[in-house]
Chain A
Amino acid sequence: MFHQIMNIISLWTLPLILILILTLGLVKKVPLYEVFTDGAKEGFKVAVNIIPYLVAIIVGISMFRASGIIEAIGQLLTPLLSHFNVSADVIPIMIVRSLSGSAALGVFSDIAHNSGPDAYTTKLAAVMVGSSETTFYILAVYFGAVGISKFRYALIAGLLADFIGIVAAILVCNYMF
């Protein structure tokens, strides 16, 4: 039941928002087509603007992932984290989820398929992936679009919050499952 309600919500949110914007625009006599295309013009420019920032960060992260260092860190952390019911499979997610969203989702799919639906590991991995955004990607795209190259404390704050999220995920899952 709850599941069906959720499906309806996620299916209808977007169409309803569009209807709301367009109807309100029509009522207020906004020239819809003209204003839409005028705003949409920016799309190409913004996308091209972020390329240099994306290249710097995505190449760096791709090299980092290819170097095998994430596995090495994982091995170092395994003994410590096994105290908290965290299996070695989940550790790559903890490291990778701030770096690459698609990679984190890939690791999560692997865990889900290998450990099966009843495993605690699957649940923990699901919560960890579901509760986070890819910090480095957001940073590159948002700041890249406006040409900010000095992040000040933005990255540290984002990563600290990610870390707190990981700890919270471990504690919450230990308690609930």
Chain B
Amino acid sequence: MNYIFYILITISIIAGVVNGKLPDVVNAILTGAELSVKVAFSLIGIMAFWLGMMKIAKKCGLIKIIAKIIKPITKRLFNEIPEDSPAIGDIAMSFSANALGLANAATPIGIKAMEELQKQNIDKKSASNAMCMFLAMSTAGFQLIPATVISVLISIGYKNPTEIIAPTLLVTTIAFLSAITIAKIFQKIWAPQKETIYNNEKYNQGGEI
């Protein structure tokens, strides 16, 4: 990420000079920073709502039921986390929300799942294999009905907007399965995480690993 951050900013400045758009690039710093805070703040309310709902769903055992149903799949995908981990249920909920097109719910629930995965992570600064798998699956954005796109198509007078559902579903499935496969391959070839001193100390004090 250090390189990506460096390259993103340096190349933008160089390209800005070459294209004569340097003022735009400099302005983008301010608008980008403002946008970040706007995005974060716009999440507060909906995040609070879904985290509250998720807590009820957890307390009444709904998440456990869902986790049990999809256990055969998650056991293989997330082989490094315990089968009865609460993360499994959250991951399942996050995907249901994504698949049903509830984008507002998917982000808070996805974050909740990440927090559960973080509890089992041996190095709190770097992403565990389970986290990388979950992220790759989330970024593939599996969705049954592309509602936003369809609404744009309707607005321009597209006669049969539902005809794009089948190809979109096919493409998103291909991307989703590729993401899982790629994450699995990287899991084998990428350098494994090292347990950090920070975590070891915590462990020695009898704290949570």
A and B found bound together: yes
Q: Which A residues form the contact surface with B (CB < 8 A)?
A: 2-3, 6, 9-10, 13-14, 17-18, 20-22, 24-25, 27-28, 30, 32, 35-44, 46-48, 50-51, 54-56, 58-69, 72, 105, 108-109, 112-113, 116-117, 122-123, 126-135, 138-139, 141-143, 145-158, 160-162, 164-165, 168-169, 172-173, 176-177
Complex CA distance for A169 and B146, rounded to whole angstroms: 14
Having A41-B48, A150-B125, A157-B179, one finds 6 other A-B pairs with CB under 8 Å, namely A35-B55, A126-B149, A146-B111, A162-B175, A164-B175, A172-B171
A163 CB to nearest B CB, Å: 9
**A residues less than 8 Å from B146 (CB atoms):** 126, 129-131
| A173 in contact with B157 given A58-B36, A63-B32, A152-B127 (CB within 8 Å) | no
Which residue in chain A gives the minimum CB-CB distance to B176?
Answer: A161
Q: Which residues of B contact A109 (CB under 8 A)?
A: 152
Are A36's CB and B140's CB within 8 A? no
Q: Which residue of B lies closest to A98 (CB)?
A: B139
Residue among A128, A131, A133, A148 making CB contact with B131, cutoff 8 Å: A148
14 A-B pairs with C-beta separation under 8 A: A10-B101, A46-B111, A50-B40, A62-B31, A67-B24, A112-B152, A126-B168, A131-B146, A131-B171, A131-B175, A133-B138, A151-B127, A162-B139, A164-B178
Query: Number of B residues contacting the other chain (C-beta, 8 Å)?
Result: 106
The answer to whether A67 and B32 touch across the interface, beta carbons within 8 angstroms, is no
CB distance from A17 to the nearest CB of B (A): 8
Closest to A156 in B: B186
Contacts known (A43-B44, A127-B164); A69 close to B12, Cβ less than 8 A = yes
A residues less than 8 Å from B47 (CB atoms): 42-43, 46-47
> Are A59 and B183 in touch, CB under 8 angstroms?
no
B117 CB, nearest partner CB in chain A, Å: 8
Interface residue from A36, A62, A127, A138 paired with B56 (Cβ < 8 Å): A36
**CB-based contact A58/B39 at 8 Å:** yes
Alpha-carbon distance A13/B4, docked complex (angstroms)? 39
Contacts A66-B27, A131-B141, A165-B174: A39 and B52 contacting too (C-beta < 8 A)?
Answer: yes
State how many angstroms separate the Cβ of A92 from the closest Cβ of chain B: 15
Q: Are B48 and A43 in contact (CB under 8 A)?
A: yes
CB distance from B147 to the nearest CB of A (A): 6
B37 at the interface (CB under 8 A from A): yes
State whether B131 touches A61 (Cβ < 8 A).
no
- B100 on the interface (CB 8 Å rule)? yes
- The listed residue with most B CB atoms (<10 A of its CB), out of A61, A129, A139, A158, is A158
Q: B85 → chain A, closest Cβ, in Å?
A: 15
B132 touches A21 (CB 8 A): no
Q: Please give, as numbers and ranges, the residues of chain A lying within 8 Å of B53 by CB-CB distance.
A: 18, 21, 36, 39
Q: Are B114 and A68 in contact (CB under 8 A)?
A: no
B129 to chain A, nearest CB (A): 8
- B51: contacting residue among A40, A54, A149, CB under 8 A: A40
Known: A10-B145, A130-B143. A165 touches B171 (CB 8 A): yes
B59 is an interface residue with CB less than 8 A from chain A? yes
Say whether B35 faces chain A, with CB atoms less than 8 Å apart. Answer: yes
Residue of A nearest to B27 (CB): A66
B170 touches A13 (CB 8 A): no
Query: CB distance B56 to A56 under 8 Å?
Result: no
Say if the beta carbon of B86 comes within 8 Å of chain A: no
